Chain A
Amino acid sequence: KQEVTQIPAALSVPEGENLVLNCSFTDSAIYNLQWFRQDPGKGLTSLLLIQSSQREQTSGRLNASLDKSSGRSTLYIAASQPGDSATYLCAVSGGSARQLTFGSGTQLTVLP
């Protein structure tokens, strides 16, 4: 069964810092990996989608990489801002089941 782990569970940084969030998964037979942002009590906003054949995707200050063979992905946030404070979730689709499997998330706080 696919398992997705996110480290760290929580992270607090001062404004302006560059930071990296980590995601690992156990079954490398995935279709894609998706990073989401969730604000408290709110829905999920899709940030980046990386197909299994791709190595990275970029959107503005965000860059996500994927190493399928080692079962790892990173989300790089450049020049962090207080508005980036949220929980970041990674999810993989495929593997042995036809579903999206989520990690438990990294709660990010960017201090002014």
Chain B
Amino acid sequence: EAQVTQNPRYLITVTGKKLTVTCSQNMNHEYMSWYRQDPGLGLRQIYYSMNVEVTDKGDVPEGYKVSRKEKRNFPLILESPSPNQTSLYFCASSLSLVNEQFFGPGTRLTVL
């Protein structure tokens, strides 16, 4: 089944403890991206990747890192999480920007 998977789906952590949210797609997509969704602010893009080893900042990249070493994986790294990063995170992928975007199920992160 064609899908985008994210892990973990739920995470509660404490300030400053490094964490990684994984994202994987099995559709051989070149374009991948991360979004956060917050009440009243909607969905905002954090980072995106046009292909392997090609990443760029979205609208809200501060406090986040990404890497794209393999085509199928695009992990989101929070080196030192803070409470303002408590949010619902989505990973998405597509063949390219002109193609349909597919979203993962989301990761609900709480930073205490």
Chain A residues close to B by CB (< 8 Å): 31-32, 34, 36, 41-46, 49, 51, 89, 91, 93-94, 98-105
Among B11-19, B74-82, B97-105, which stretch is in contact with chain A?
A: B97-105
Among A43, A93, A98, A99, the residue within 8 A (CB) of B90 is A43
Q: Judging by beta carbons under 8 Å apart, are B100 and A46 in contact?
A: yes
- Inter-chain contact total with CB atoms closer than 8 Å: 59
Query: Could you tell me the distance between the alpha carbons of A94 and B62 in the complex, rounded to whole angstroms?
Result: 22
Q: Judging by beta carbons under 8 Å apart, are B101 and A46 in contact?
A: yes
* B70 CB, min distance to chain A CBs, angstroms: 21
Main secondary structure of the interface of B (DSSP, over half): strand
For A98, the chain B residues whose CB sits under 8 A away are 48, 50, 56, 97
For A36, the chain B residues whose CB sits under 8 A away are 103
Query: Could you tell me the distance between the alpha carbons of A46 and B102 in the complex, rounded to whole angstroms?
Result: 7
Q: Judging by beta carbons under 8 Å apart, are B101 and A51 in contact?
A: no
Quick check: is B92 within 8 A (CB to CB) of the other chain? yes
Closest to A101 in B: B45
For B59, the chain A residues whose CB sits under 8 A away are 99
Chain B residues close to A by CB (< 8 Å): 33, 35, 42-45, 48, 50, 56, 58-59, 88, 90, 92, 97-106, 108
* B105 CB, min distance to chain A CBs, angstroms: 4
Q: Jot down 14 A-B pairs with beta carbons below 8 A, ordered by A.
A: A31-B98, A34-B101, A42-B105, A43-B104, A43-B105, A46-B100, A46-B101, A94-B97, A94-B98, A98-B48, A98-B50, A99-B48, A101-B45, A103-B42
Asked whether A43 and B103 contact (CB < 8 A) given A89-B43, A103-B42, the answer is: yes
For B44, the chain A residues whose CB sits under 8 A away are 102
Query: Could you tell me the distance between the alpha carbons of A98 and B90 in the complex, rounded to whole angstroms?
Result: 17
Query: Could you tell me the distance between the alpha carbons of A34 and B101 in the complex, rounded to whole angstroms?
Result: 8
For B108, the chain A residues whose CB sits under 8 A away are 41
Query: Could you tell me the distance between the alpha carbons of A31 and B99 in the complex, rounded to whole angstroms?
Result: 9
